[in-house]
Structure 1
Amino acid sequence: MKKLIEVKNLSVDYITFDGRVRAVNDVSFDIGEGEILGLAGESGCGKSTIAYSLMRLHRPPAMISEGQILFNGKDVLEMDEEQLRDFRWKDTSMVFQSAMNCLNPVKTIEYQFFDIFDAHGLVNSREESIEKAKELLRIVDIPTERLFDYPHQFSGGMRQRVVIAMALALKPKLLIMDEPTTALDVVVQREILQKVYQLKEEFGFSILFITHDLSLMVELCDRIGIMYSGQLVELAPSKEILSKPKHPYAFGLGDSFPTLHGELQEMKGIPGTPLDLKNVPAGCRFSPRCFKATEACKTTPPKLLGAGENRWVSCHHPLPIDGEKIEIVQEAV
């Protein structure tokens, strides 16, 4: 699979009165053409910070301090403002968490579509913009007569579909979805994600999907990366994250979800609290909460290493699966 975007050793800092706080630390991954990659983890683990980094949407006090973001071989971090303007809509677009906050409450949906088309020189008249906007609404199953309504006249699920339509307006190659179904009921969640998957199959774009819900992510994604405290601790095919986790944190996340079939089981969860990024331990960041932690874990930070075919894990003591002996085979590039 050809790589569409490559993130190499990305680090993001926030400047505070107490000094720098590293929200994302040395994260590397790639997304192939037509692939759906998921990022999961607790609140504050750096998922959204990575998403904003890919489009260079950060503003002070946040700053990208290290790394590369290569999109079709071009470094996003070296683009000037004009290049970024094209990149942010034509190559990459984002569906944010709250659709209501993304839409201007005092402008009709039609006007907001026109604003997109006009800014990128895609239309010569308002009538042409209206026709393009209607076609996009049809794609996400919204009646075209609703084009002249205001955001408050739509339900939460419909607003989210409008935002998805806007994100697809310039037919980007990568769609970033940052918790796109937050605050929606489970039925609407499934409808929206099914529609997104259909659109992905139709138009062939890639997706970076961010959510807390691992069970939802497993259904949609090809691969899943697990984030903890600003670091990528495991990257694996989606079907293996819940059934055969290798990092103790990924195991804990999976053990926090009830099964739909079989006997009732007590949920164990993960003991302790998320790490204070202003007080990072010398060794593994998960060691204070890990049931497999040793003295080496407390003093030496682990590297993200290959642990089988298409699998990566950052752990001194990766979990064995069905009695197999885990062997670290190579270091991540």
Structure 2
Amino acid sequence: MKKLVEVKNLCVDYITFDGRVRAVNDVSFHIGEREILGLAGESGCGKSTIAYSLMRLHRPPAMISDGEILFEGQDVLGMNDEELRSFRWKDTSMVFQSAMNCLNPVKTIEYQFRDIFEAHNVVKNREESIEKAKELLRIVDIPTERLFDYPHQFSGGMRQRVVIALALALKPKLLIMDEPTTALDVVVQREILQKVYQLKEEFGFSILFITHDLSLMVELCDRIGIMYSGQLVELAPAKEILSKPKHPYAHGLGDSFPTLHGELQEMKGIPGTPLDLSNVPQGCRFAPRCFKATEACRQAEPKLVGAGENRWVACHDPMPIESTPSSTLEAV
């Protein structure tokens, strides 16, 4: 699979009055052409920070302090303002978290499409902009006569589809979806994600999909990365991340999902609380909450290394394959 995006040793810091806090620490991964890569983990683990880094959307006090981001071999971190303006939305676009609130409430949907087209000089006049906008609304199953309505006149699911249409306006090669279905009910969630998958198959773009819902991610993604405390702790094919986890944290996430079939089982949460990034202990960051932690885990930080075909894990003592969580992939 040809690599579309390569992230190498990415570090992102937030500058505070008490010093630097590292929100993303030495993260590396790639996204292939036409691939859907998922990022999962607790709130504050660095998922959205990575997403913003790919488009260089960070503002102070956030800063990318180290690493490389390559898009089709081009250095994103080395782009000037003009190159970034062309790169954003044309090559990479984003469906932001709480996307329903991303629409301008005092502008019609038509105006918001036209704003994108005119900013990137892809239309000659308003009539051409309207035709392109109508075509995009048809793609996401919204009646074209709704083009001149305001956001408050749409339901939550329809606003979500409008935002997806806006993100696809310039036919980008990478679509970043940062928890795009958080505020929607499960039926609408499934409808929207099925539509996104159909569009991905039709237009051939890649997706970085970020969510807390592992079961939803397993259905949609090709590979899944598990984040913990600013670090990537496991990266594996989606079909194996719940049924055959190798990192204890991924194993704990699998045990947190109820089974839909078979006998009732007691749920098992992950003990403890997320790490305070302003006070990172020596050794493995997950060690204080890990049931397998040893003295070696408390002394040395594990590195992300190969753990089989197309799998990586950052653990001194990975889980054996036969030790699967109670809620396996088939039960999700």
Tell me what 1:43 maps to.
43
TM-aligned CA deviation for residue 323 of structure 1: 7.2
TM-aligned CA deviation for residue 218 of structure 1: 0.1
**Separation in structure 2 between the aligned mates of residue 38 and residue 99 of structure 1, nearest angstrom:** 18
**Separation in structure 1 between the aligned mates of residue 224 and residue 68 of structure 2, nearest angstrom:** 21
Tell me what 2:12 maps to.
12
TM-aligned CA deviation for residue 322 of structure 1: 1.9
Please show how residues 55-74 of structure 1 align to structure 2 within 5 Å.
Answer: 55-74=55-74
The Cα offsets for residues 134-163 of structure 1, whole Å up to 9 and x where unpaired, read as 000000000000000000111111001000
Indicate how the Cα distance of structure 1 residues 323 and 137 shifts in structure 2: closer, same or farther if over 3 A, else same: closer
Tell me what 2:313 maps to.
313
The question of 1:162 aligning with 2:162 is answered yes
Tell me what 2:183 maps to.
183
TM-aligned CA deviation for residue 99 of structure 1: 2.1
Tell me what 2:276 maps to.
276
Tell me what 2:78 maps to.
78
Tell me what 1:138 maps to.
138
User: Is the CA contact (8 Å cut-off) linking 1:99 and 1:156 kept in structure 2?
Assistant: no
Tell me what 2:328 maps to.
none
TM-aligned CA deviation for residue 102 of structure 1: 1.0
* Paired AA for residue 175 in structure 1: L
TM-score (norm 1): 0.96
User: Is the CA contact (8 Å cut-off) linking 2:91 and 2:174 kept in structure 1?
Assistant: yes
The Cα offsets for residues 204-257 of structure 1, whole Å up to 9 and x where unpaired, read as 000000000000000000000000000000000001000000000000001000
3-state DSSP of counterpart to 1:70: strand
Please show how residues 1-333 of structure 1 align to structure 2 within 5 Å.
Answer: 1-322=1-322
User: Is the CA contact (8 Å cut-off) linking 2:100 and 2:163 kept in structure 1?
Assistant: no
* Paired AA for residue 80 in structure 1: N
The Cα offsets for residues 262-304 of structure 1, whole Å up to 9 and x where unpaired, read as 1000110100000000110110000000000000100100000
3-state DSSP of counterpart to 2:87: helix
Tell me what 2:330 maps to.
none
Percent identity of paired positions between Structure 1 and Structure 2: 89
**Separation in structure 2 between the aligned mates of residue 299 and residue 114 of structure 1, nearest angstrom:** 56
TM-aligned CA deviation for residue 183 of structure 1: 1.0
- Over 4 Å off, 4+ runs: none
The Cα offsets for residues 138-197 of structure 1, whole Å up to 9 and x where unpaired, read as 000000000000001111110010000000000000000000001100000000000000
Indicate how the Cα distance of structure 1 residues 158 and 79 shifts in structure 2: closer, same or farther if over 3 A, else same: same
**Separation in structure 2 between the aligned mates of residue 226 and residue 11 of structure 1, nearest angstrom:** 17
User: Is the CA contact (8 Å cut-off) linking 2:244 and 2:323 kept in structure 1?
Assistant: no
User: Is the CA contact (8 Å cut-off) linking 2:258 and 2:267 kept in structure 1?
Assistant: yes
TM-aligned CA deviation for residue 98 of structure 1: 1.3
How many pairs were matched up? 324
Q: Which runs of 5+ in 1 are unaligned?
A: 325-333
Tell me what 1:330 maps to.
none
TM-score (norm 2): 0.97
3-state DSSP of counterpart to 2:279: coil
**Separation in structure 2 between the aligned mates of residue 121 and residue 60 of structure 1, nearest angstrom:** 30
User: Is the CA contact (8 Å cut-off) linking 1:99 and 1:160 kept in structure 2?
Assistant: yes
User: Is the CA contact (8 Å cut-off) linking 1:39 and 1:227 kept in structure 2?
Assistant: yes
**Separation in structure 2 between the aligned mates of residue 78 and residue 163 of structure 1, nearest angstrom:** 29
* Paired AA for residue 9 in structure 1: N
Tell me what 1:328 maps to.
none
TM-aligned CA deviation for residue 77 of structure 1: 0.2
**Separation in structure 2 between the aligned mates of residue 157 and residue 99 of structure 1, nearest angstrom:** 10
3-state DSSP of counterpart to 1:130: helix
3-state DSSP of counterpart to 2:93: strand
User: Is the CA contact (8 Å cut-off) linking 1:223 and 1:235 kept in structure 2?
Assistant: yes
TM-aligned CA deviation for residue 100 of structure 1: 3.0
Indicate how the Cα distance of structure 1 residues 292 and 106 shifts in structure 2: closer, same or farther if over 3 A, else same: same
**Separation in structure 2 between the aligned mates of residue 37 and residue 89 of structure 1, nearest angstrom:** 19
3-state DSSP of counterpart to 1:243: coil
* Paired AA for residue 300 in structure 1: A
